[in-house]
Structure 1
Amino acid sequence: MIESILLAVTRVATFEDQEAKTNATGFFFKRGQRLFVVTSRHVLIDEPTKHFPDRIEIELHVNPDNVAESIGFSIPLYRDGKSVWRDGLDGGGGIDVAVVELDRTALPSGMVYRAFTPAHLYRPRDRIEAGDPLLIVGFPLGFHDTLHHLPVVRQAVISSSFGMRFQGHGYFLTDARTHRGTSGAPVVMRMPRTDASTRALPWMLLGTHSARLDVGSRDFELDEALGLNSAWYADILLPLTEA
């Protein structure tokens, strides 16, 4: 029995022409009959570092009886000169989250996965506080179970007041050891309650891991890195996945 959370996450590789560029993390989000892969916007385009891939490849499990069987599924990032992903803005500026809708008719018929849905998003009545334990599920430095093609899990805690926009931005802070390749990973906690819509994937989706934070005045010889990260609130997925 494989934990369902591991099947909700996929490895993302970016390419420019045939040249491999970076590795990252994505996860599946379902809205009605539509299926999306979610990752960080800077995985798909990052102007400051001149990162301009033209396609991504995600890894899909394709055999319910053999989890070691997987394929790479290529997704062009541009069609007729226009980007195929959706991102957004809020009052604090750009949001480092992007969604790409998958063509379900092109997906392998035996695809094995789990997907978050709007039912997995936190609700105002859910009591979520600073210090609560979390998981960040992804592919740090591309590391993963290369036989079964599954991600790994890092423990984390909420490090800022959940529900408040840290420094005016649409994210909260986590305290976790993260690395490059974790960008786009889901930040989750156990569902306090489950029903038919969440029983197969009993994890509440709180956010999308974006980046490690640092202090510009830190002495690199005397001071350790902060070990804090930004996670964009998951409710941004609702406007990004509207029809």
Structure 2
Amino acid sequence: MHIGIIGGIGPSSTELYYRELVRQHKSAGLTLELTIVHADIQQLTTNLLQNKRAEQAAIFQGFIEKLYCCGATHVVIPSLAGHFCLQELIQLSPIPIISALDCLKKHTQHNHYSKVGILGTLPTMQTGVFGCFNQDEYVVPDRHDQIVAAETYRRFARNGYASEVDKADIFSIGQKLVKEQSADIVFLAGTDFFLAFDGQECGFHAVDCAQLHISDIIAQHMLFASRNES
């Protein structure tokens, strides 16, 4: 299995996926084959906010074709925001895409959560992670806190670090989802949230969507390897 990553959206999330894939492949005794291409985070952000799904899918298609030419057998988008055009991209991609959205659904169903909270960009929160959840299955912050959460996350992605003030703001918003809106857990629906949450006590049950996605990539690689051996 040769993994192709559409990187650069943003750089910190690309680094996280690379570092974790190296570590977890080694732990699982798997050989890592990996190619990364660099996409433009500003272009993605613009198309996301304008809901230009077809345009962004066409851009991603060009990167996937480069990865395919390099031998990639599967594609990974290390950004939940980058999944906003997933359905359009699936129709264009010459190789399978390992979707982060599928991981969220499986995790929720496996743990029998009745209601999940979502933190991320405005489109991510307002669409239930791009249609991943029905309206009665998720809660999001109020309008003011949505804007604060989205702007805070944007700073994480842009700057590559989380200030103490931003950490306090995002932790407070997440706590409200659990205490005031009865969320069983809160999905950190943005890869760069690790900059604030990694190793920190946030005061609520937070689930890192990036780590779920990476674990699923490893599981699919193990299945791929076992099929090839047989």
TM-score by length of 2: 0.30
Greater helix proportion: 2
